[in-house]
Amino acid sequence: KLSGSLPVLLGPEGIRIRNGRIAAVEPGGQVLYRPDGGGRSLADAAGQMKMLFDVLKDFHYHTLDATANYTPDGELKIDVVFGGRGVEIGAERPVHFNLKIEQNILSLLKSLRVVNGINEHLDNSVRRHFSRIAPDGP
């Protein structure tokens, strides 16, 4: 369970979040992460990436603190610090993560719209093609 606040400010320049905070409520929680697709190849890699994914397969966190800031130009910055124990690597071994996420949300949404448009175009082309070659109904 998480608790916190994301103060959303709406001004003439757009939406802004300043010093949003989210934290775990005691006793904490659990992360179960089992990637598929491209994440699977990262998880199967050797070294630190393998260890990271092994920890996240079944991670029991007791602390989690995150701060979030968003500016009208679309920049989202999230800093997350969490600690706990990874069952897959031995639950007696403490693990602490510091994670920094920075993403321009407006650019991401624009990219998703472009990809969606390409998918729609391909889908429509395939449908038109098969409707021309498909025999008439029964």
Span 7-47, pLDDT tens digits: 999 999 999 999 999 999 999 999 998 877 656 666 566 67
- Residue 129, helix vs strand vs coil: helix
Average pLDDT of the chain is 86
pTM: 0.69
Amino acid 107 reads S
CB of 29 within 8 A of CB of 64?
yes
- CA-based R_g, the chain, Å: 22
**Higher pLDDT among residues 113 and 46, named by residue:** 113
Run of H or E including 39:
helix 38-43
Tokens standing for 20?
A: 């949003």
CB of 46 within 8 A of CB of 52?
no
Smallest Cα–Cα separation from 105: which of 41, 17, 3, 30?
17
